[in-house]
Amino acid sequence: MEPKIQKFFLKLPVEKQKLAMLLRDVILSADKKITEDIKWNQLTFVYKGNLAFIYTMSKQPYVNLGFMQALSLSDPKKLFEGTGKSMRHIKVYSEKDIPAKQIKSWMKEAMTVNEGIFAAKTKAAKKTAKAK
């Protein structure tokens, strides 16, 4: 684990460190192509763009897992919360609340969504370059 990732965990309240670490493990186990970085002071998971991020609020008893393109992901159990243009999150209060299978599924779906966005941007950039 990179020092900046370790620093992220050490800044969390002790009671949230284990929960955030478990979420990280689930996410990284979804696909070996997923990488991690610190963006916006949050642990962010990346594949051809931002996929998801772990964040907390100091006075809340849970850890949030936010998905950047949540509106493009299936949510059969209606676990997502929020009202953003495309982002949604889940609140995780304890280890038993981690929907590991669903998180892995979302991560794989999000990777596919990002591949499409990346391909579209690449195609547009090539078209613009040709027009010049």
Write down the pTM of the prediction: 0.88
pLDDT tens, residue by residue, 25-73: 999 999 999 999 999 999 999 999 999 999 998 889 999 999 999 999 9
Question: From its phi and psi, is residue 26 left (phi > 0), alpha (psi between -120 and 50) or beta?
Answer: alpha
Residue 6 pLDDT: 96
For residue 126, is pLDDT > 80?
A: no
Please answer whether residues 48 and 115 qualify as being in contact, where contact means their C-beta atoms are separated by less than 8 angstroms: yes
pLDDT band at 130 (very low <50, low <70, confident <90, very high): low
Higher pLDDT, 121 or 66: 66
Please write the tens of the pLDDT for every residue from 85-105.
999 999 999 999 999 999 999
**Per-residue pLDDT, 58:** 82
pLDDT band at residue 1 under the 50/70/90 scheme? confident
Nearest by Cα to 56 from 101, 95, 11, 98: 11
What are the residue ranges spanned by the domains of the chain? Answer: 3-131
The CA distance from 89 to 50, in Å, is 14
Question: Of all helices (H) and strands (E), which one includes residue 126?
Answer: helix 100-131
Shortest CA distance to 94 belongs to which of 29, 25, 20? 20
Specify whether domain 3-131 bears CATH 3.30.70.260: no
How far is the first Cα of the chain from the last one, in angstroms, to the nearest whole number? Answer: 44
Task: Say what the pLDDT of residue 121 is.
Answer: 64
